[in-house]
């Protein structure tokens, strides 16, 4: 079986994750709370932001591609609307692969539950927006 992935949908979904992250972690939104919970001193120079942004772009591109790929497979199986299958796939991938893994790592690392919740919520919004983009673009 050939898996059809819409390259434009993947690129726009990747960009959407950057937009969601930029808004979510902005100081007036959750940035101050995140910095406090993660014990990041925003007054200290954190060095160049190029490397973390470049890594985030690559990882977001991979996430968008995998989501589009699995959405195609889910759509072939369930044959609901492509948008519905994209959103459903995004939700289950978030729950099983993102939320569950965050919780596991954060518990062992002793991170505050509020930080875990904040980051899991961010990932939920990110992956659901990616699913929305992929679903709206279609095949």
pLDDT digit string (tens) for 103-138?
Answer: 999 999 999 999 999 999 999 999 999 999 999 999
Tell me the per-residue pLDDT of 28-50, one tens digit each, with 9 for 90 and over.
Answer: 999 999 999 999 888 876 778 89
The domain ranges of the chain are: 7-40+47-137
For position 45, what pLDDT does the model report? Answer: 66
Tell me the per-residue pLDDT of 51-63, one tens digit each, with 9 for 90 and over.
Answer: 999 999 999 999 9
Tell me the per-residue pLDDT of 60-89, one tens digit each, with 9 for 90 and over.
Answer: 999 999 999 999 999 999 999 999 999 999
Rounded distance between C-alpha atoms, residue 81 and residue 131, angstroms: 13
**Lookup: tokens for 132:** 């929305």
122 in Cβ contact with 20 (< 8 Å)? yes
For position 48, what pLDDT does the model report? Answer: 82
Mean residue pLDDT across the chain: 95
Rounded distance between C-alpha atoms, residue 118 and residue 30, angstroms: 8
For position 88, what pLDDT does the model report? Answer: 98
The terminus-to-terminus CA distance of the chain in angstroms comes to 15
Residue 69 makes CB contacts below 8 A (sequence gap 6+) with 3, 5
For position 139, what pLDDT does the model report? Answer: 79
Q: 3-class DSSP state for residue 62?
A: helix
Rounded distance between C-alpha atoms, residue 89 and residue 84, angstroms: 8
**What is the model's pTM?**
0.94
């Amino acid at each position: 079986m050939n898996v059809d992935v819409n390259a434009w949908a993947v690129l726009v979904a990747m960009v959407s994750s950057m937009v969601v992250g930029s808004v979510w972690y902005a100081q007036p939104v959750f940035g101050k709370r995140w910095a406090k919970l993660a014990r990041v001193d925003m007054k200290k120079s954190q060095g160049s932001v190029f490397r973390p942004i470049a890594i985030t772009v690559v990882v977001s591109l991979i996430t968008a591609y995998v989501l589009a790929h699995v959405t195609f497979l889910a759509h072939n199986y369930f044959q609901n609307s492509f948008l519905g299958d994209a959103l459903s796939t995004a939700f289950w991938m978030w729950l099983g692969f993102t939320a569950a893994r965050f919780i596991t790592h954060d518990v062992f690392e002793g991170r505050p539950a509020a930080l875990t919740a904040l980051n899991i919520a961010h990932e939920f919004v990110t992956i659901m927006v990616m699913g929305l983009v992929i679903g709206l673009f279609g095949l």
